[in-house]
Structure 1
Amino acid sequence: MKELDQKDMAENERQELQDRYIRFDWAIKRLLRQKANFGVLNGFLTVMLREEVNILEILESESNQESADDKFNRVDIKARNSKGEIIIVEIQNTREVHYLERILYGVAKAITEHISLGEGYQNVKKVYSISILYFDLGVGTDYIYHGQNHFTGVHTGDRLRINTRDRDAVITRLPAEIFPEYILIRVNEFDKVATTPLDEWITYLKDGTIRPDTTVPGLREAREKLKYYSMSSSERHAYDEHLNAIMIQNDVLDTAKWEGRLEGLAEGEAKGKAEGLVEGKADALRQTAAKMKRMGMPTADIATCTGLSAEEIEKL
């Protein structure tokens, strides 16, 4: 019996080792650019965009090529789907103050990169921007936010629509088919039990776990493609260094925020004491001046003794 227990424990340990999965940011950077692994990315985008997505190719540009310094807090993948639309996926591990401006710039750059000089504006590509954020962005109660450009009446509040006649005659695409869509995934805000395909994906993004019986698009492929122990020893070493770099940077930022709070408290306390001393001294001078005034001393003499102005003394 004891021998069976030991075998079960060994099997469980072996299974745990096999079921360790690579973080999605590293997978995007190193593995999901390979066509053989597009199934993982297709599944992720299908769940996020709520329609079937098939990636035709991974696109390269200045924004998603690996640079010499290889910044680990910025991971981009840019792809073209079967409709010819552009999809940008970006993971941000650390806080960036002007992040919204950056994703706007990224979308604008993608649009201009994929229309040739002289082409008609009807060839502008729709862009989806998906941001996976491991820091607090704004204030909100949800962990996924979705936005797009809409035209709303200033006085009536109604949304501008294109009617059939106008569309047939002038406009070939609706605004929703043209303007970019932005999806912000606030990973740290997710704290629920996974009950939907979307929840299962967010669980994987947050802590790297995938259910053994998952049927969610992309995660099934991830269980086979993104196993930690399927990598070579050199790849595992590079991956471990990547995780260590993220931990160090987050620790540095947390320490800086903690020290900043302490410094702010100390400065506030010192300032409070100094202001208290100044106010106490001024109050004592006013009380002294009031006594001197009651004794009938001239205002000029009181001003000389206390440093208060004649106007202040007159008000006492």
Structure 2
Amino acid sequence: MSKKLIRFDWAIKRLLRNKANFVVLEGFLSELLFDDIKIQRILESESNQLSEDDKYNRVDILTLNSRNELVIIEIQNTYEIDYFHRMIYGAAKALTENLNIGEPYSNVKKIISVNIVYFDLGQGQDYIYKGTTTFQGLRQKDTLQLSGRQKRTFNSIQVANIFPEYYIIKVNQFDDVAKDKLDEWIYFLKNSEVKDEFQAKGLAEAKEVLDIMRLDKEAQYGYNRYLDYLHLKASEALSLKIEAEEKIWQEKINLAKLILAEGEPVDKIIKYTGLTLEQLEQIEQ
């Protein structure tokens, strides 16, 4: 029988940075990237230190895997209109901070940016997106490839393998039906539960490491404060949505009254305001 576990976004700040628990992050990244990922170490920088004013909403962790690639994991709980831009900034910052002065550009590390968002980012039907960089010919319509010498020098077969790679997981868009092992991880990200039949890498360890009952009293208090914060932010978002809808509703009513005063036909009022006939009858009363 599955049980509620500590949320991944809280755990990644406090528990999963411990080398003994790397297996959980390794499991998640292995299923996402369809590879056997081993984390060498967690790299700390100013961007992923906890700050008092943003210690709950934004989570980011920078890791170095066994292939000498930099893997960024960011989690965003609330709506951020320029999140795509933040993804670019985060990848660029990690890239420049990890190239020493005097090193050739060929030493630039591959960046893998994994973004777990709990809001509707952009427009799209899927809940997992991957973004890479390719160069298409404007005249010949071909795809630019690496030369043979470049392939041997950079140990890569595609231009896209050199550039940052982006993953976006829109957690709330997942329908809770786990069709494969990656879906099992997304189910956990959304519900903080690991079903007994799940077999994805790292989830068995997550089920043990992220057991709430293993936390000491101080950690349990901090975790409960975090859950309270999420409820507060959800309420704030709902309030803003209701206020925005009320404002739009009032604007429609004011427009309808103005058109009514001009003696325009009802069908024209419905067309320009989007109000129904029943709603117009209420206004006239």
Range of TM-score over shorter length: 0.7 to 0.9
Select the residue among 68, 71, 78 that pairs with 2:55: 71
Is 1:271 matched with 2:255?
A: yes
Cα deviation code 1:261-306 (max 9, x no counterpart): 11111122113312442x449xxxxxxxxxxxxxxxxxxxxxxxxx
* 1-structure distance, mates of 2:231, 2:143: 46
Distance 1:265 1:158 in 2: 51
CA RMSD of aligned residues (A): 1.8
Give the structure 1 partner of residue 71 of structure 2: 87
Could you tell me which residue of structure 2 aligns to residue 218 of structure 1? 202
Measure, in 1, the Cα distance between the counterparts of 2:95 and 2:149: 28
Aligned residue-pair number: 263
Q: d(CA) in 2 for partners of 1:90 and 1:172?
A: 28
Q: Which residue of 2 aligns with 1:44?
A: 28
2:165 paired residue among 181, 198, 201: 181
3-state SS in 1 of match to 2:208: helix
Cα displacement (A) at 1:147: 0.5
Q: Which has the larger radius of gyration?
A: 1
- Output one character per residue of 1:5-57: Cα deviation in whole Å (capped at 9) or x when no partner: xxxxxxxxxx77xx321000011011000001000000001011111110011
1:209 aligned to which of 165, 176, 193: 193
**Residue matched to 1:8:** none
User: Residue in 2 aligned with 1:26?
Assistant: 10
Q: Which has the higher helix share?
A: 1
Q: The residue matched to 1:51 in structure 2 has which SS?
A: coil
Task: Name the residue aligned to 2:122.
Answer: 138
TM value normalised by structure 2: 0.87
Deviation at 1:69, TM superposition (A): 2.6
Q: Which runs of 5+ in 1 are unaligned?
A: 1-14, 282-316
1:61 equivalent in alignment to 2:24:
no
Residues 1:197 and 2:199 are matched in the alignment: no
Cα drift, residue 171 of structure 1: 6.3
Per-residue deviation, residues 238-263 of structure 1 (Å, max 9, x unmatched): 11110110111111111111111111
More divergent stretch after superposition (62-71 vs 95-104): 62-71
Q: Which runs of 5+ in 2 are unaligned?
A: 265-285
Paired with 1:20 and 1:139, the residues of 2 have a C-alpha distance of 31
- 1:273 aligned partner, one-letter code: K
Q: CA deviation at 1:163?
A: 3.8
